[in-house]
Structure 1
Amino acid sequence: MALETWRVLFRECLGGRGAQYCDEVAPLLVAVDQGVKPSLLWDVCTADTSALLALLNQAQSKSLLVSKLVLVELGLDVFIVNVAAVIRTLSGITGSTPTWLIDISSATPKVASNENHQELRTHLNSIIAQLGNATADDEENSPLGSVGTHPQNGVDGASHSNRAGTAGNGGVIKAVQIKLPDDLNLSTIFGCMIGYPHIYWWEGESGGNSLSGMPLKVFKLSANCSFDGTVVELYSFSIPEALEGDLRPGIEHWGNVVNVRIEQAGSFSNAKFRCDSVLCLSVAL
Structure 2
Amino acid sequence: MSTQELLVAAARRFLRAGRKSLSTTQSLDLAAQVCAVNLGLKPTLLYDINSANAEQLQEYLSSLQSLQLASKSLVVMSLSGNSFIVNPATVKTNMQRALHGGSVAVVDVCHSLENPTIANLQKGELRSVGHKLLVLLEEFQQLEEAEKPLYVGEESEDWNLCSVFGLLLGYPVVYWFDQTVGFENCLSMTPLTVITASATWQTDAATHRCRLYSFSLPAALQEETQSNLQNWKLRLQERFEQQHVLKDLGVSQSPVTLPSVCL
After the TM superposition, which segments of 4 or more aligned residues of structure 1 sit over 4 Å from their partners?
A: none
Please say if residues 34 and 266 of structure 1, whose CA atoms lie closer than 8 Å, have aligned partners that are also in contact: no
- Relative contact order, CA 8 A, sep 6+: which one is greater? 1
Superposed counterparts of 1:125-274, under 5 Å: 125-138=131-144, 172-179=146-153, 180-203=155-178, 204-227=180-203, 228-274=206-252
Unaligned residue ranges in structure 1 (runs of 5+): 139-170
| Distance in 1 of aligned mates of 2:138 and 2:221 | 35
SS in 1 for 2:102: coil
Identical aligned residues as a percent: 27
User: What's the secondary structure of 1:246's corresponding residue?
Assistant: coil
Rounded Cα–Cα distance in structure 1 between residues aligned with 2:252 and 2:182? 30
SS of structure 1 residue aligned to 2:20 = helix
Structure 1 position 97 matched with structure 2 position 75: no
Instruction: Please say if residues 38 and 89 of structure 1, whose CA atoms lie closer than 8 Å, have aligned partners that are also in contact.
Output: yes
**Letter of the 1:29 counterpart:** V
Structure 2 stretches of 5 or more lacking a match?
Answer: none
Which of 103, 106, 114 pairs up with 1:107?
A: 114
Q: Distance in 1 between matches of 2:41 and 2:116?
A: 30
> What SS does structure 2 have at the residue aligned with 1:210?
coil
For this pair of structures, how many residues does the alignment match? Answer: 252
Distance 1:76-1:101 versus aligned 2 partners, 3 A rule:
same
Cα deviation, residue 216, structure 1: 0.6
TM-score by length of 2: 0.90
Shift of 1:230: 2.1
Deviation, structure 1 residue 89: 1.3
Distance (Å, rounded) in 2 between the aligned partners of 1:246 and 1:237: 16
Cα distance change of structure 1 residues 52 and 181 upon mapping to structure 2, 3 Å threshold = closer
Query: Pick from 7, 15, 37: which aligns with 1:32?
Result: 37
The 8 Å contact of residues 38 and 81 in structure 1, kept in 2 or not, is answered as yes
Shift of 1:63: 0.9
| 1:99-132: CA deviation from partner (whole Å, max 9, x where unpaired) | 5211111122111133x11011001000001110
**Cα root mean square deviation, aligned:** 1.8
Whether contact under 8 Å (1:33, 1:67) holds in the other structure is no
Q: Is the 8 A contact 1:11 1:18 kept in 2?
A: yes
